[in-house]
Structure 1
Amino acid sequence: MILVTGATGHLGTAVLQTLLRKTDAAQLAAFVRDEQKAAELKAQGVSLRLGSYEDSASLEQAMQGIEKVLLISGGGEEDALQQHQQVVDAAKRAGVRCLAYTSRALKDPSTLANQLMVRHFQTEAYIQASGLSYLIFRNILYMDVLPLFTGPQVLETGINLPAGQGKVAYALRSEMGEAIANVLLKPSYASCIYHLTGRTAYSFDDVAAALTAASGKKVAYTPVEKAAFAAGMQKRGVPELAIERTIGFMTDIAHGQEAEVSHDLETLLGRQPTPLQEGVKMLYKL
């Protein structure tokens, strides 16, 4: 059986949608906090295992009879690394044969501005030291976050971000979920690291050009200074932590952290990932 954690989240849902298309629901389990939110999964025949990353007893109980576990990384909690470690430890105690983890595709973890990302590589190291067979999916920044970065009025205001001329090899979250599911369904338990990225790295000038082509309105990208960007967010009432993390993402983009391109996603999908131009039409409903 395959257990998917974070099963009602965006990525967990994408993974399970593919798994349900390609294998019997009786072979699938979902680790969830809220049974009501997972009612649709239960109706489809997926076994629900209740608990949380903080509750080691519930984790170990959830993993009974499980061969492969997909650990979808937690959010921005301060104790996220400890939570991940508890999942790994529970998997060992339960006799899980293979642990998969959703990490991040970043060029150089040692020079990251966004320190929230460091825990991904600490988790990777902990998994690799555990003795478990592992699958690590280093995911690029989701194309799906572009509307959050550019703002809802982007066709009127243009794109104003402190990302310089940095590029990102964006890929859709749904396609990453599909690729991850395809790997989980393989009969192999061999350890492997995958880099899930698009085929091309795009700058925000490219994003602006794609928006212009899709909307028929001229959209420009204007690089701005971090201080001015932060001041604008503060004026809109954005919490300080959110400002700090957003600037961290932008700084890492400017430094080329998100620009590495791999063909792993294309190989696992068996087709080319959705390019920026098509993704923009869908994400902005153009």
Structure 2
Amino acid sequence: MKKVLITGATGHLGAATIDFLLAKNKKDNIIALARNEEKAALLKSKGVEVRLGDYDDYNSLIQATKGVETMLLISSSEMSKSRAIHHINAINAANENGVKHIIYTGFIRTHDDPTSPLWFIAKDHVETEKYLKESGINYTLFENGFYLDMLLDFVGNNVLETKTIFVPAGNGKINFVLRNEIAEALANVLTTSGHENKIYNIGVEQTVSFDEIAGYISNKTGVQINYVSPEPDVYIQTLIKYGAPEMYARMFSAFAVAFAENTMNVPTTDLTKLLGRKPTSVEQFINSFFNKK
């Protein structure tokens, strides 16, 4: 394994990927890109080389990518402007410094639809992936399922009291995946060969609907949970009524409507192969969560 630059290194996915690499004794091969020195202090304490840089500061990206063989480009969390511009800056800097391979984290989907309510998020991924493929650099695309870690944000932590899952996802099925297992798979790809110019759908083998999720919770807890799929506008107004900021209410609704349209209904064995085992299923996650309650 040669020098690897990991962007978004202080975020959840980047930090978890670095921890998996450290467990493989790859400390000397890791370079972490961080915007904030204070946030990167934990990485430094683990012996990881940290380079400060910002997607908006091209010169800092040029400095950060020097001597790098592979870059893990974790998609920017910036929502106030085009994230694609951030990603393209990183790709251009990598290209200028002769980086040989870029792994990019996108999202799992059946198709690209500019009329989808989710397009405001999807558009930047689509633009980035097209640019990366045309850059001449070897690429690997990680098309990640929806974070299983966020399932309870839709279900509600007090679902046993409300006895209702209230999400406008219809009968759509979704591929939910644990963020930590994505990180483990990224570390495996970074430390093995043969992944150039491949696209991996990163998720579980069996997609699920919210009606099935209600059934899993009912079976585990003995509390009958009902699933209600309201109109999106009703959902948005209900979330706002209970204190959610309007931006978040609309974003959750956009995802739910995309779920209803089966946009993320992509069963896959790619992650199973990359991990060497079956990833955590939604039912296993729910059983584990309610064991702790």
Alignment match, 2:270: 264
What is the DSSP-based 3-state SS (H/G/I as helix, E as strand, rest coil) of the residue aligned with 1:45?
coil
Alignment match, 2:110: 107
What is the DSSP-based 3-state SS (H/G/I as helix, E as strand, rest coil) of the residue aligned with 2:18?
helix
Pick from 216, 234, 240: which aligns with 1:234?
A: 240
Cα deviation for residue 24 of structure 1 reads 2.3
User: Structure 1 residues 185 and 77 mapped into 2: Cα distance closer, same or farther (>3 Å)?
Assistant: farther
How far apart are the structure 2 equivalents of 1:222 and 1:237?
Answer: 20
Contact (CA 8 Å) 2:82, 2:124: kept in 1 or not?
no
Which has the larger displacement, 134-143 or 184-193? Answer: 184-193
Letter in 1 for 2:109: L
Count of aligned positions: 286
Contact (CA 8 Å) 2:142, 2:200: kept in 1 or not?
yes
Q: Normalization by structure 2: what TM-score?
A: 0.93
Letter in 1 for 2:20: T
Letter in 2 for 1:131: G
Pick from 214, 217, 223: which aligns with 1:211?
A: 217
What is the DSSP-based 3-state SS (H/G/I as helix, E as strand, rest coil) of the residue aligned with 1:7?
coil
Cα deviation for residue 282 of structure 1 reads 3.6
What is the DSSP-based 3-state SS (H/G/I as helix, E as strand, rest coil) of the residue aligned with 1:164?
coil
The correspondence of residues 85-104 of structure 1 with structure 2, limited to 5 A, is: 85-104=88-107
How far apart are the structure 2 equivalents of 1:57 and 1:178?
Answer: 31
Alignment match, 2:25: 23
Cα deviation for residue 155 of structure 1 reads 1.4
Letter in 1 for 2:130: A
Output one character per residue of 1:2-58: Cα deviation in whole Å (capped at 9) or x when no partner: 111111111112211211111320110110112222222212211001111111111
Output one character per residue of 1:64-117: Cα deviation in whole Å (capped at 9) or x when no partner: 111000111012232211111101111011111111100011111125321111
Cα deviation for residue 208 of structure 1 reads 1.2
Which has the larger displacement, 214-223 or 19-28? Answer: 214-223
Contact (CA 8 Å) 1:147, 1:283: kept in 2 or not?
no
Cα deviation for residue 163 of structure 1 reads 0.6
Cα deviation for residue 283 of structure 1 reads 4.4
Q: Normalization by structure 1: what TM-score?
A: 0.95
RMSD of equivalent CA atoms: 1.5
2:149 is equivalent to residue 144 of structure 1: yes
How far apart are the structure 1 equivalents of 2:94 and 2:15?
Answer: 22
Which has the larger displacement, 230-239 or 263-272? Answer: 230-239
Cα deviation for residue 171 of structure 1 reads 1.2
How far apart are the structure 2 equivalents of 1:216 and 1:58?
Answer: 55
> Gapped runs of 5+ residues in structure 1?
none
Task: Give the % identical residues.
Answer: 36
Contact (CA 8 Å) 2:103, 2:140: kept in 1 or not?
yes
Contact (CA 8 Å) 1:98, 1:189: kept in 2 or not?
no
Cα deviation for residue 181 of structure 1 reads 1.2
Letter in 1 for 2:242: R
Letter in 1 for 2:118: N
How far apart are the structure 2 equivalents of 1:201 and 1:22?
Answer: 31
Contact (CA 8 Å) 2:189, 2:274: kept in 1 or not?
yes
Alignment match, 1:175: 181
How far apart are the structure 2 equivalents of 1:210 and 1:55?
Answer: 47
How far apart are the structure 1 equivalents of 2:209 and 2:11?
Answer: 28
Cα deviation for residue 188 of structure 1 reads 4.3
Pick from 129, 135, 146: which aligns with 1:130?
A: 135
2:80 is equivalent to residue 74 of structure 1: no
Which has the larger displacement, 233-242 or 58-67? Answer: 233-242
Pick from 195, 202, 211: which aligns with 2:201?
A: 195
How far apart are the structure 1 equivalents of 2:33 and 2:218?
Answer: 42
Cα deviation for residue 259 of structure 1 reads 0.8
Pick from 105, 119, 128: which aligns with 2:124?
A: 119
Letter in 1 for 2:200: Y
How far apart are the structure 2 equivalents of 1:78 and 1:167?
Answer: 30
